Chain A
Amino acid sequence: MKVKLDFEHKQSAHCENGVVSNMLRYYGIELSEPMVFGIGSGLFFSHMPFLKVGGIPVTSFRPMPGVIFKRISKRLGITFEKHRYRQPHKAMKALDANLEKEIPTGMLVGVYHLTYFPDPYRFHFNAHNIVVYGKQDDTYLISDPIIADYETLSYDELLRVRYAKGTFAPNGHMYWVKNIPERIDVEGAVVKGIKHTCKHMLTIPIPMFGVKGIRFLSKKLRNYPHKLGARKAASYTGQVVRAQEEIGTGGAGFRFMYGAFLQEAAEVLKKPHLRDLSFEISEIGDKWRAFAIITGRIVKNRNTVDESYDKAADLLLEIADMEEAFFKKLQKSVQ
């Protein structure tokens, strides 16, 4: 089999945005990564002490994997065909059939066995997205949104990552564009995306999410050294910084990416006020970076109880206030 689609691969910060952006470009729709991110309401905050990965509570700066994707297709009216397969070989056959019909196909894969991934980033994370855009003999041509260049995987390698096990096991999940409406209402989608983000950051009545979640983390973090001892406290703190600066965030827990979105949104909606807000969120992002510097130092000196926990917790409260004011203004501007 020899298929190579004319698929333009552009590197992005976050895989879900990147795959959507790249796939839509193939069908002639130019939406930047920040636009996909903003329309899909990708900005979020949650701190869930009871949900642990590797024994450490999860703090996250984005919604659950797959959510951005769902929202963007709903808001732009683009339908995707989705499938999971119980039999791995059937999943591969279905992929081949798609390629023969010249359909670039997105899929979920596990990162750990992804052969081209740099070792320091290979954790058992299963909600990574890639696009397969061709096949030459037994080699699949891959567009991985976070890698700069095109990549390839053999049949066996691709099969293995499509059937990674554990949390969010992909089970051969794949998806492709089925239908694009003739007119896409980008303005409407942008407004919906903004409204949704504001609502989720401000009004979820559970203290673990949005601005309340940031205050909640502040309280927890302040108590870490007393409750957990130096080493464990440092491990818990490290997870927060990693979530904030991991691949895909565009820096500062997606705050900079959201700024880029607002600037584009200002032009789309002809609301220059959003441009002012785009500067404000960049400043908030800088505060998050300052937080990372303090907590990073805590992690480095992990064997001694560090006094900067209080400083970090105070900074979080400051950030929470700034974000609350910011999202209230943003909410007002699109009403």
Chain B
Amino acid sequence: MKTTEVPQDDAGMMRGKWKDPIYTLDEKGNYVTSYSLGWETKNAVMQHAWEEIHERVEAVRQKVIAGELSPLAYYLEKNIMDVGLLAKYVGKWKWTVKKHLKPKYFNRLSDEMLEKYAREFKLTKEELTDIERIKNEGNEGQT
């Protein structure tokens, strides 16, 4: 890539924390470090990846409101985790966590276990169990 061709399509992805360094060729044929604010193609692909995540989160949110899944399922999806990963964070078996995604088992959880889950999602125990909170979240998502 030539130094003059460096794209500057800023989509605010990096939140001003950095610019992407690209090694480009200047007019003398020497490599120099150029800084890019973003590239349209890359922005679109990243946005698409987030849209897919938001769609999944929204689908689970609806199921939680309908009472088919527990609030745990919602926060799991929202934090882009899967059952295996959450199980590792809370030090439980995968199948145990899987069980807790069902409202029937979730509603029977001890305060201690609820605290444990809540801590992983940076919530309080009360927030974790509050379905109204999930209803109000809409599709805010992360980005």
Contact = CB atoms under 8 A, between A and B. Distances in A.
Answer whether A and B are interacting partners. Answer: yes
Interface of A: 11-13, 34, 112, 116-124, 146-149, 165-166, 169, 234-235, 238, 241-242, 245, 247, 250-252, 256-257, 259-260, 263, 275, 278-279, 282, 285-286, 289, 292-293, 296, 299-300, 302
B140 to A, nearest CB: 12
Contacts of A242: 42, 45-46, 49
Interface of B: 1, 13-15, 17-25, 29-31, 36, 39-42, 44-46, 48-50, 52, 79-81, 84-85, 88-89, 142-143
A286 B2 CA distance: 9
A43 B45 CA distance: 23
A165 B50 contact: no
A278 B21 contact: no
Contacts of A245: 39, 41-42, 45
The binding surface of chain B is classed by DSSP as mixed
Contacts of B31: 34, 256, 259-260, 263, 278
A122 B1 CA distance: 28
B142 A119 contact: yes
B67 to A, nearest CB: 27
Contacts of B1: 251-252, 256, 282, 285-286, 289
A282 B14 contact: no
Given A34-B23, A146-B18, A300 B48 contact: yes
A120 B17 CA distance: 12
Contact of B23 (A119, A259, A292, A293): A259
Given A119-B15, A285-B1, A299-B45, 12 more contacts: A148-B17, A238-B49, A241-B41, A241-B45, A242-B42, A242-B49, A245-B42, A251-B22, A256-B24, A256-B31, A260-B31, A296-B40
Interface hub of A34, A123, A245, A292 (most chain B Cβ within 10 A): A245
A292 B7 CA distance: 14
Interface hub of B23, B25, B40 (most chain A Cβ within 10 A): B23
B29 A118 contact: no
B6 to A, nearest CB: 9
Nearest to A241: B45
A298 to B, nearest CB: 10
B17 A117 contact: yes
Contacts of B143: 119-120
A238 B48 contact: yes
A149 B44 CA distance: 27
A307 B102 CA distance: 42
Contact of B25 (A34, A279, A300): A279
Nearest to A123: B80
B80 to A, nearest CB: 6
B42 A256 contact: no
B21 A13 contact: yes
Nearest to A235: B52
Contacts of A121: 13-14
B64 to A, nearest CB: 21
A124 B80 contact: yes
